[in-house]
Amino acid sequence: MSTTPAGNRSAPYSGTEHKVPPTETPPGESSTTEGISVPERPELRKAWGFAPLVLILGVVAVFLAGVIAMIVALSS
């Protein structure tokens, strides 16, 4: 396998005949919210209702009851 040193290779399209002439940069976007037809939803006033909190506390209570029952069963 033959390799050539990096300094001896010529880059493709290194001549001036293939260069693109410089042009002016196009303007950026005027606004990121321009043209939005749907307004934003209002913020929620309450994060959690009563029912989800009771459900989560019930699951935690059942888990703790199981852990305590296993500890009691293993200790006797």
Please tell me the total count of domains within the chain.
1
Domain holding 76, by residue range, is 49-76
What string of DSSP letters covers 11-54? PTT-SGGGPPPP-PPPP--S-SSTT--SPPPPPPS-S--HHHHH
In a domain, 71, yes or no: yes
Q: Beta-carbon neighbour count of residue 38 at 10 Å? A: 5
In a domain, 54, yes or no: yes
In a domain, 55, yes or no: yes
**Of 45, 68, 47, nearest to 56 (Cα)?**
47
In a domain, 62, yes or no: yes
pLDDT 10s digits, 20-74: 777 877 666 666 666 667 777 888 777 778 899 999 999 999 999 999 999 999 9
At residue 55, the pLDDT reads 96
Distance between CA atoms of 49 and 38, rounded to whole angstroms? 27
Tell if the pTM clears 0.75, that is, is over it.
no
In a domain, 12, yes or no: no
